[in-house]
């Protein structure tokens, strides 16, 4: 069904219930004409909850496999030949509370959704933190207000250590909740669904600890979260002191809508190494056929195990990697998986990596890769990595002892799939940063989320080239050319007002830029509807020269009560008709449409009575 409606009041009036379909069946949830599912003869849709991501879609340089061919950003510059850190914009703007701490971030179709543990008590009081989510564009500019996703009614919240997974039309966030007590064994494992812009979906937080098959329900520090395209899988272990609790790897599986697939979490294995050793750290990926889960056990010496686990939680293989990991991450490449870690078991701190086949077996050739050595033997900080489609980009924090004090380093390494370490010893990105908690390839460079000290996180960019690639005498590093592929975009350029991009690199696009003053806009469009040809049509209200057309899903509108969660189906249209592009609503849903008229050059009309002119950011 489609709804051609022109103001918000009428949009909220209708609602169609979602019909659930078994994930085992062949399905097309996003109604894009491409199917997915375990039992499909041709299941090519790698993200069946995102209409623009499907086989044969145009591949964009955006860090997303748009055409679902398994070759990320094909045709883009993916080698990152001259990596250097650029810190503008640095601090993540957050209007509710000024002090943020360690969080998690995910790549989305518009930029990033960032979740941070936000200080809500006295300054420096780490016991009063609440999780807030906020969307940012690719340059780190906020797109909407931050929203609490945990439990803001709790007088003493302590929400921390989150993981996040992007599922096309929503994200799933898992975290530890310490509000029940200060000890690890009093924590709870909690989760919540949020939409693309961070607004909570559903009425309450999901308590995953209650699914523990053991008496102890508190989670241990490390959590691994995966979206398979069909379900969310949370791998974790409890913090109980008994050998059964501590050595058991659990998996909790939930549907796309956040419904538990079983009342009790499944015990995948209770003996990873044959000694019933406690599990410590873990990370997981989904290969399209099975999970690869890397875990460390609490023993001295070689403690890295690679588990191949099927979609029902059955262990199909268990291999080892020689090494002693204290921080652990992995990333899936084209033909193999890279595991990276920090090894401080010996007298010198080492950062290492190794390859794992997609069947979960360790690749002894090329064997262990030495990324960096730190003879002064400081201590290790988190390691993060991501695949660009051509190389693995690895960012790690290190606290290195100089003889009189510690210096904090961010190191960047590039590793090819053949095992070549392109930056032996690493590239020094910064000497005053502490934690890196997410590294994300965005199609042109690596976005790095981290903090230089407690309560001061920021978004940084690992610029892949500081050359002036477009010949406009500005580069992306020292002069901040925000699009070094376009010679008409540089900091002192004139904003074109209809260029649909930020020509002068001030963070403001077209009519949002003070170089483009606004005037009185045209009147409201009140006769939007479908014509006899099946296309949308409307009348010029007077003074309009162009039109923007936005659409979205009706249930999103009802839940959010705004037009943020929309897509821009038509931008600066010249005519008062729009040819239907074949977009169908998801199963059991309704699409709404609104049109905004524009004058010249920046005299905007409205999206309808009661609508905030800036609500539909996707069209500007």
Angle at 107 between CA 55 and CA 44, to 5 degrees: 15
* Residues ≥6 apart with Cβ < 8 Å to 254: 172, 191, 206, 231, 232, 234, 260, 261
Among 4, 32, 51, 57, CA closest to 577: 4
Per-residue model confidence (pLDDT) at position 319: 97
Structure tokens at 54: 């499907």
Q: Which residue has the tokens 């030495």?
A: 370
Q: pLDDT tens-digit profile of 204-222?
A: 899 999 999 998 899 988 8
* Alpha carbon distance 75, 237 (integer Å): 41
Least Cα distance to 358 among 379, 377, 336 occurs for: 336
Task: Name 365's Cβ contacts closer than 8 Å, sequence gap at least 6.
Answer: none
Is the model more confident about 510 or about 311? 311
pLDDT of 442 higher than 60: yes
Within a domain: 499: no
Q: DSSP label at 27?
A: B
Higher pLDDT, 243 or 476: 476
Q: Determine the Cα–Cα distance for residues 359 and 340; give it in Å rounded to an integer.
A: 18
Best CA proximity match to 194, nearest among 175, 213, 180: 175
pLDDT at 401 over 80: no
Question: For the chain, how big is the Rg over CA atoms in Å?
Answer: 25
Q: What is the pLDDT of residue 577?
A: 95
What is the structure's pLDDT at 538?
A: 96
> Rounded to 10 degrees, what is the CA torsion of 559, 564, 566, 567?
-170
Q: Is the pLDDT of residue 489 over 80?
A: yes
In 3D space, the residue among 240, 269, 264 whose CA is nearest the CA of residue 253 turns out to be 264
Q: How far apart are CA 457 and CA 45, in angstroms?
A: 35
DSSP 158: B
Question: Rounded to an integer, what distance in angstroms lies between the CA atom of residue 16 and that of residue 592?
Answer: 12
The region of weakest confidence among 154-163, 338-347, 386-395, 593-602 is 338-347
Tell me: pLDDT of 595 over 60: yes
- Decide: helix, strand or coil at residue 99: coil
Judged by average pLDDT, the poorest of 48-62, 347-361, 493-507, 567-581 is: 493-507
Q: Which of 326, 384, 394, 318 is nearest to 356 (CA)?
A: 318
Residues with Cβ within 8 Å of 545's Cβ and at least 6 positions away in sequence, in order, are 598, 599, 600
239: tokens are 């913090």
For the entire predicted model, the pTM comes to: 0.88
The span from the CA of 409 to the CA of 444, in Å, is: 24
Is it the case that residue 615 has pLDDT exceeding 60?
no
Residues 519-549: tens digit of each pLDDT: 777 888 989 999 999 999 999 999 898 899 9
Q: What was the pLDDT predicted at 10?
A: 31
Q: What is the pLDDT of residue 412?
A: 92
Q: How far is CA 32 from CA 130, 521, 582, 606, in A?
A: 37, 35, 8, 29
Whether 544 maps to a domain, the answer reads yes
Residue 415's pLDDT is what? 97
- Rounded CA-CA distance 530/538 in Å is 9
Output the six-digit token pair for 32: 């894009």
Residue tagged 């009140």 (tokens): 526
- Where does 476-519 show beta strands of DSSP type E? none
597 within some domain: yes
Name the strand (E) or helix (H) holding 11.
helix 8-12
pLDDT band at 405 (very low <50, low <70, confident <90, very high): confident
For residues 447 and 116, what is the distance between their CA atoms, to the nearest angstrom?
16
- Measured between alpha carbons, how far is 342 from 324 in angstroms, rounded to an integer? 8
Name the residue among 102, 50, 100, 110 with its Cα closest to residue 620.
Answer: 110
Q: What does 445-474 look like in DSSP terms, one character per residue?
A: SEEEEEESSTT-EEEEEEES--S-TTSSS-
Rounded CA separation 191/200 (Å): 11
Q: What is the pLDDT of residue 205?
A: 94
- Of 154 and 614, more confident: 154
Residue 546 lies in a domain: yes
- When mean pLDDT is compared across 22-26, 398-402, 407-411, 565-569, the lowest value belongs to 22-26
Q: What is the pLDDT of residue 608?
A: 66
**pLDDT at residue 614, as a whole number:** 42
Q: What is the pLDDT of residue 532?
A: 92
Cα torsion 425, 440, 29, 337 to 10°: value is 0
* pLDDT of the residue at 126: 58
Residue 198 lies in a domain: no
Find the domain containing 553 and state its range. 2-17+522-619
Strand partners, 567: 551
- Assigned domain for 393 exists: no
Which tens digits make up the pLDDT trace of 87-129? 544 567 665 665 666 789 999 998 999 998 887 766 555 568 8
Backbone angles phi, psi at 252, to 5 degrees: -110, 125
Per DSSP, the three-state class of 383 is strand
| Amino acid 434: pLDDT | 67
Q: Are strands 566-573 and 546-553 parallel, antiparallel or unpaired?
A: antiparallel
> What pLDDT score was predicted for residue 122?
62
Q: Please check the confidence at residue 515 and state whether its pLDDT lies above 90.
A: no
pLDDT at position 12 is: 32
Count CA atoms closer than 13 A to 228's CA, side-chain side.
Answer: 24
Is 170 a member of any domain?
Answer: no
Q: Give the pLDDT confidence score for residue 365 in this predicted structure.
A: 94
Distance CA(132)–CA(139), nearest Å, equals: 20
Question: Which pair of tokens denotes residue 136?
Answer: 């940012």
CATH classification of the domain holding 602: 2.60.40.10
d(CA 191, CA 202): 11
Please determine, for residue 165, whether its predicted confidence score (pLDDT) is greater than 90: yes
For residue 533, the tally of other CB atoms under 10 A from its CB is: 9
Q: Is the pLDDT of residue 379 over 80?
A: no
Cβ atoms of 146 and 96 closer than 8 Å: yes
Residue 441 has pLDDT above 90, yes or no: yes
Mean pLDDT of the chain: 84
Pairwise CA distance, residues 277 & 25, whole Å? 39
What does the pLDDT look like over 69-82, one tens digit per residue?
Answer: 999 999 988 999 88
pLDDT of residue 593: 93
List CB contacts of 521: < 8 A, sequence separation 6 or more: 543, 597, 598, 599, 603, 604, 605, 606
Cα–Cα distance list, 255 to 187, 232, 314, 323 (Å): 24, 6, 19, 36
Residue 470 within any structural domain of the chain: no
Q: What is the pLDDT of residue 330?
A: 96
Q: Is the pLDDT of residue 51 over 80?
A: yes
- Whether 616 has a pLDDT exceeding 60, the answer reads no
Domain count, the chain: 1
Query: H or E segment at 67?
Result: none
- For residues 218 and 184, the answer to whether their CB atoms sit within 8 Å is yes
pLDDT at 563: 80
pLDDT given at position 45: 93
Maximum mean pLDDT: which of 130-139, 430-439, 570-579: 570-579
Place of tokens 């009348």: 539
Q: Over 90: is that where the pLDDT of 300 sits?
A: no
Share of the chain above pLDDT 90, in %: 43
């Amino acid at each position: 069904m489609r709804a051609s409606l022109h103001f918000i009041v009428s949009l909220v009036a209708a609602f169609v219930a979602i019909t659930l379909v078994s994930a085992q069946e062949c399905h097309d949830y996003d109604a894009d004409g491409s199917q997915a599912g375990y039992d499909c003869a041709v299941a090519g849709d790698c993200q069946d909850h995102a209409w623009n991501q499907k086989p044969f879609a145009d591949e964009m340089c955006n860090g997303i496999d748009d055409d679902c061919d398994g070759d990320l950003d094909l045709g883009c510059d993916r080698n990152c030949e001259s990596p250097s850190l650029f810190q503008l914009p640095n601090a993540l703007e957050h209007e509710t509370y000024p002090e943020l701490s360690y969080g998690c971030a995910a790549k989305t179709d518009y930029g990033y959704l960032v979740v941070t543990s936000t200080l809500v008590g006295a300054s420096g009081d780490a016991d009063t933190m609440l999780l807030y989510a906020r969307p940012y564009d690719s340059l780190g500019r906020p797109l909407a207000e931050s929203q609490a996703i945990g439990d803001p009614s709790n007088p003493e919240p302590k929400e921390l250590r989150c993981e996040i997974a992007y599922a096309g039309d929503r994200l799933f966030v898992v975290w530890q909740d310490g509000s029940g007590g200060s000890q690890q064994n009093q924590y709870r494992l909690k989760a919540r669904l949020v939409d693309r812009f961070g607004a909570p979906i559903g009425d309450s937080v999901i308590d995953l600890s209650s699914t523990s098959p053991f008496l102890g329900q508190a989670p241990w520090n490390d959590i691994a979260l995966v979206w398979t395209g069909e379900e969310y899988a949370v791998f974790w272990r409890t913090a109980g002191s008994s050998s059964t609790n501590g050595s058991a790897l659990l998996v909790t599986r939930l549907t796309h809508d956040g419904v538990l697939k079983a009342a009790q979490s499944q015990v995948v294995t209770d003996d990873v190494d044959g000694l019933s050793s406690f599990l410590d750290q873990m990370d997981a990926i989904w290969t399209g056929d099975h999970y690869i889960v890397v875990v460390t056990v609490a023993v001295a010496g070689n403690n890295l195990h690679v588990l191949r686990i099927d979609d029902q939680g059955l262990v199909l293989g268990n291999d080892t990697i020689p090494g002693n990991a204290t921080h652990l991450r992995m990333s899936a490449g084209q033909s193999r998986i890279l595991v990276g870690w920090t090894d401080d078991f010996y007298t010198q701190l080492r950062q290492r990596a190794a390859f794992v086949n997609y069947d979960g077996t360790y690749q002894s050739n090329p064997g262990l890769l030495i990324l960096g050595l730190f003879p002064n033997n400081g201590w290790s900080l988190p390691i993060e990595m991501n695949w660009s489609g051509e190389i693995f980009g690895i960012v790690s924090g290190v606290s290195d002892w100089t003889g009189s004090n510690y210096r904090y380093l961010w190191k960047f390494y590039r590793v090819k799939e053949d095992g070549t370490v392109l930056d032996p010893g690493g590239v020094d990105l910064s000497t005053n940063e502490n934690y890196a908690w997410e590294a994300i390839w965005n199609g042109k460079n690596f976005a790095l989320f981290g903090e230089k000290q407690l309560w001061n996180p920021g978004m940084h960019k690992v610029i892949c080239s500081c050359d002036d690639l477009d010949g406009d005498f500005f580069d992306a590093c020292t002069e901040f050319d925000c699009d070094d592929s376009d010679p008409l975009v540089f900091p002192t350029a004139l904003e074109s007002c209809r260029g649909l991009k930020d020509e002068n690199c001030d963070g403001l696009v077209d009519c949002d830029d003070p170089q483009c003053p606004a005037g009185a806009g045209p009147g409201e469009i009140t006769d939007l509807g479908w014509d006899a040809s099946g296309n949308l049509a409307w009348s010029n209200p007077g003074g309009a020269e162009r039109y923007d057309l936005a659409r979205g899903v009706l249930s999103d509108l009802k839940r959010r009560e705004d037009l943020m969660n929309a897509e821009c189906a038509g931008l600066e249209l010249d005519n008062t008709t729009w040819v239907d592009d074949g977009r169908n609503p998801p199963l059991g849903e309704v699409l709404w449409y609104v049109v905004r008229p524009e004058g010249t050059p920046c005299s905007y009309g409205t999206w309808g009575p009661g609508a905030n002119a800036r609500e539909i950011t996707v069209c500007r």
